[in-house]
Structure 1
């Protein structure tokens, strides 16, 4: 079976695999009213996850990111890491987390095969963190990041959603924090989703202002690796840490797209802001279905659009970021 390539000559080496859409935080830009289950859901089990990852690895996937909701809320999350890490062809196993269980589990996850870690920290001010996330957990999350570094994660990425009037004034504070720590801080522009129109209008800020400040201060933009995310990454010789900017409204943002998404209920999504996904779960019941699974993925990939439609105010069918893991 050939490698994954769409009709725009983009190759896909990176799979974002959601293992649950449940989250225990109440972030203003995602789940301000908390997680609200919509009927009874059966999330992919370990055998189904193994088959998905094995099929994608056979088609050239080298990096898998485990997402949620909050993925660590699954009791079998460590076992899921082991399954993914043991899959032939998979070279990187990453997760995105709110840091809720990081302090207690960082070493365990590292031993299981986790290689990359992204932690959400939207503010370094405890009161503002509480206001944005709905949880007074900054101290615990920061202790989790320290535990991850102590456990041997060579570099930890920290995600901060850029919010006008809430945290867009904190650049200098964040820079002071990463000066002596091997942390890549990534500012992510607020993205419009189906349930967040008013909040987007109120709090969206472009990352271009931060980019200008970084370049003026001697930061240098780095070349993008083949399996990297969409961030524009900057380094400075006086800083151990780095800065990444994810700006989905910037020109040609989608030109380097290299990832596909599978939801926690087994749907393939070609774009975070696309239309309803395509079911794969009917082909995950047995190992003998792998060829058919791969053929379906290839067929669907032929319909991937050149770009999202956020500039037209169209966020697809994504109600909030937790539904697909961002």
Structure 2
């Protein structure tokens, strides 16, 4: 079996949300007061999580597993979950998307467990701007976490940045210089309509074209071929060796080549980041469903995937779950 849809796409990249909790309050993600977290009894246990990942890898053709949140480093037992995933047949590639606040203390253990790569969310290297965006004075912890991941051998260490108009958009060239200096691979991501407050406004979003124009004032960017199903368009910076990526999820959608499927922390399959429907694996799993039955449910969930996210459709509705509860 495979996780195919009616449009010829096959999902081989599984994004696993480990928790909806987070220790930052980024203004484009959640309100300052935070959210009501998922009750513990609704969250998949480690054994349940490992079983579903094993089904995806051994029965459904998944080759890449990325752990997300909320903030995945808040999940106790994360190194053991990574190790269990890496021990599966074919040793799937593993990665984590994190705010890196706790990475200084966990990078070595995660690398020893087999974690291959780390993506760190970082929108600025200015402490005041960082606190304005995240509502927490924790920039030093993120920088320490980045260095720890690199020292642990998880290369390339990638940095994901969101530009916010009037807040940090002017920093784009400086952020690229900083990443090149430290040998981090930078990717700018358009702000997406996934905030808990539902305050996203396309008119205020810094677009991929605007980001390229900002960078073009300081660097010579040459497009690179071979994007495949990767979300980022990559550009060579000043003839190399460094590159920068642009993920234009809104204005340059890549839905036609999407190979991703998502599993939420409470065991729901989401066949698209912007889906408004989910398929419940947790209830079936806890009711005694066999691995074959769970795999069939997963296949059925993917079959209904729409051709695109539809953000440009006048009838588009933002998902009820925010990014912190979906996973990136």
TM score, norm. by length of structure 2:
0.91
Residue of structure 2 equivalent to 1:60: 61
Distance 1:132 1:194 in 2: 13
The equivalent of 1:124 in structure 2 is: 125
Deviation, 1:240, is: 4.8
By how many angstroms is 1:37 displaced?
2.1
Q: Which one is further off, 304-313 or 102-111?
A: 304-313
> Partner of 2:109 in structure 1?
108
Q: 1:185-264 to 2 correspondence within 5 Å?
A: 185-193=186-194, 195-200=196-201, 203-212=204-213, 217-224=219-226, 229-236=230-237, 239-264=240-265
Q: CA deviation at 1:193?
A: 3.0
- Please report the RMSD computed on the Cα atoms of aligned residues, expressed in angstroms: 2.2
Cα deviations across residues 166-222 of structure 1 (Å, max 9, x unaligned)?
111112211211223331111111111364443535741101122345568432223
State the alpha-carbon separation in 2 of the partners of residues 120 and 210 from structure 1. Answer: 17
Task: Give the corresponding residue for 2:139.
Answer: 138
Is the contact between residue 193 and residue 315 of structure 1 (CA under 8 Å) also seen in structure 2? no
Query: 1:309: which partner in 2?
Result: 310
Distance (whole Å) between structure 1 residues aligned to residue 193 and residue 94 of structure 2: 28
Aligned-pair CA distance for 1:229: 3.6
Could you report, residue by residue, the CA deviation over 1:214-260 in whole angstroms, capped at 9, with x for unpaired residues?
5684322233455x541112223655542111111224421111100
What's the CA shift for 1:83?
Answer: 1.4
The unaligned stretches of length 5 or more in structure 2 are none
Match of 1:75 in 2: 76
Conserved 8 A contact 2:172-2:215? no
Q: Which residue of 1 aligns with 2:11?
A: 12
Contact 1:273–1:318 under 8 Å retained in 2 = no
Question: Tell me, which stretches of 5 or more residues in structure 1 are unaligned?
Answer: none
Q: Distance in 1 between matches of 2:113 and 2:293?
A: 30
**Structure 1 position 9, deviation (Å):** 0.8
What corresponds to 2:172 in structure 1? 171
Relative to structure 1, is the Cα distance of residues 215 and 13 closer, same or farther in structure 2, using a 3 angstrom cutoff?
farther
What displacement does 1:139 show? 1.3
Structure-2 separation of matches of 1:37 and 1:103 = 28
Q: Which moved more, 1:90-99 or 1:34-43?
A: 34-43
Q: In 2 relative to 1, CA 133–109 (structure 1 residues): closer, same or farther, beyond 3 Å?
A: same
Match of 1:49 in 2: 49
Alpha carbons of 1:168 and 1:100: their partners in 2 closer, same or farther (altered >3 Å)?
Answer: same
Q: Indicate conservation of the 8 Å contact 2:267/2:282, yes or no.
A: yes
2:290 partner SS: helix
Work out whether residues 173 and 215 of structure 2, in 8 Å CA contact, stay in contact via their aligned partners in 1: no
Give the Cα separation in 2 of the matches to 1:55 and 1:16: 14
- Runs of 4+ that moved beyond 6 A: none
Instruction: After TM superposition, list the pairs within 5 Å mapping 1:281-300 onto structure 2.
Output: 281-285=282-286, 289-300=290-301
Q: Is the 8 A contact 1:154 1:182 kept in 2?
A: no
